[in-house]
Amino acid sequence: MLLFGIVSLAAFLLSFSAKLIADAFLHERIALVGSFAGLLPIRNPGIAFGMQLPGGYQELLIVCALVLVVVSAIRSDRSVTGDWGYGLIVGGALGNIVDRLNDGFVTDFFQVSTFPIFNVADSCITVGVALLLAQSILSVRINHLKR
């Protein structure tokens, strides 16, 4: 649980700090690789890929998802990969939740081609999910080979 806590805290601090820096200093698009990639600040009222749910459903979904991830992390078998995966998901989610508390928006700023603009918290969540998925796939394959 210690590694899970450290990774969660680090992901939260990194994602929220990046949001504060973007809010303070990023006021127009900065090209990093021409028109393909850059830093472009936007205020995102939605959830994944800018989707918005009506009424209080969006907030309810966010809280329920976070609770489910934390419960799953606590109940899972301890592994370095699992602690990293769950920690990145929880820290990134908390970063986006705290960002949203002030004005109802999340600050997104990484623009890559036509992919939806995202932030550090989104990246943490994505990498965390990829780690858990890879761990799950490898576990199934290893168990299959043992038979």
Active site residue 23: no
| CA–CA distance, 59 with 146 (Å, rounded to integer) | 44
Are the CB atoms for 125 and 88 separated by under 8 Å? yes
Active site residue 83: no
Catalytic choice (23, 99, 103, 108) = 108
Looking at residue 118, the DSSP 8-state letter turns out to be B
- State the angle between helix axes of 80-103 and 120-146 in degrees (0 to 180), rounded to the nearest 10: 150
In terms of Cα–Cα distance, which of 101, 89, 119, 121 is closest to 13?
121
Q: Which active-site residues does the annotation give?
A: 108, 122
